[in-house]
Amino acid sequence: MKPESSLQYIIETFSGKLTNVDQRLLNMILGQPTVSAFLSGADLSKQVGVHPSATVRLAHKLGFSGYPELRNKIREELTHLSTPDIRMRRRLEHLGSESALQGLVESEISTLKQLVTSIPQERVERAAKLLIEAETIYLYGRGSSIPLVSLLERRLRRAGKRIVSISGLQKREAAERFLALSQNDVVFSFAFRSKESAPVSLSVVFDHAKKLGAKTILMSDAFGATFRPRPDVTFHASRGEDEEFVTITAPMLICDAIALTMMKLDEGKSIERLKALNELRNTFESDR
């Protein structure tokens, strides 16, 4: 299945308004497809806690004749993409603790293979070019995404980029750091779903960036397709469903792919900076 024919792409490129109810339904559909694919419109609405007619309105908004056609689309993608995960969950139910590593490795392999078909190289290159051209890169993340912020910050600093990290800060302190944001900068944010809604502050950050003309990149999972205002580049990195044990392997791999693509596109500048870094390290270590 081509990325541009996927439900995720349809939602991401939808130009109309997505209400809070729409977003709650879509987070359920994209975040728990193995459940949503077998629910009626009324049952899905009940699960989310919205009016039964909401699923019909959402289906019509997205260009489907009704919820049954939207559900068929979910089932089609579930068969195409998620069957290995379904098989893995069933296998894990029968595995003892001594086989947990094998089960986790095989599940991660399945997830990583999906990245190849769901994320086109053009999108990776688009993000890499934005980061190369940026004067300053603002990295924003909370909770489980903080290790990813640290990884990407290290990669980008080694490439000679100026970084401002907003991880783990209170809103007032985060606002102070964003004060210097300009149209020549890029905001790279991580936001993964939880049982609560996405952090309100992230929408504030992207609204502020958009007003200034700064570029935005979002690394997310199911939540990313429904996020507004729409980022310049969005990466969807599955970490498993809410009920499963989730990992950061997929988003970490995307970060590394972006960093490697930057090195490929910047005409050897990153290699020269790494060489200079090594020489500077040697100087520091020799200074006893």
Question: What's residue 151's pLDDT?
Answer: 92
| Calpha distance 20→27 (Å, rounded) | 11
Same domain for 100 and 141, yes or no, is no
Higher pLDDT, 9 or 47: 47
Same domain for 102 and 146, yes or no, is no
Give the CATH number for residue 53: 1.10.10.10
The domain boundary, picked from 118, 149, 178, lies at: 118
Tokens representing 222 are: 């199911």
Residue 236 lies inside a defined structural domain of this protein: yes
Residue 147 lies inside a defined structural domain of this protein: yes
How many domains does the chain divide into? 2
- 240 lies in which domain range? 121-276
Give the CATH number for residue 262: 3.40.50.10490
Q: What is the pLDDT of residues 99-146, one digit of tens each?
A: 667 767 776 777 777 777 778 899 999 999 999 999 999 999 887 788
Nearest CA-CA partner of 257 in 249, 246, 268: 249
Same domain for 155 and 13, yes or no, is no
Same domain for 88 and 183, yes or no, is no
With 50 as the cut, is the pLDDT of residue 197 above it?
no
Q: What is the pLDDT of residues 20-73, one digit of tens each?
A: 899 889 888 887 787 888 888 999 999 899 999 999 999 999 999 998 888 888
- Which amino acid would we find at residue 132? I
Residue 286 lies inside a defined structural domain of this protein: no
The domain boundary, picked from 103, 118, 133, lies at: 118
How many Cβ atoms sit within 10 Å of the Cβ of residue 110? Answer: 17
The label of the residue with tokens 């935005």 reads 216
Same domain for 152 and 91, yes or no, is no
Average pLDDT, the chain: 81
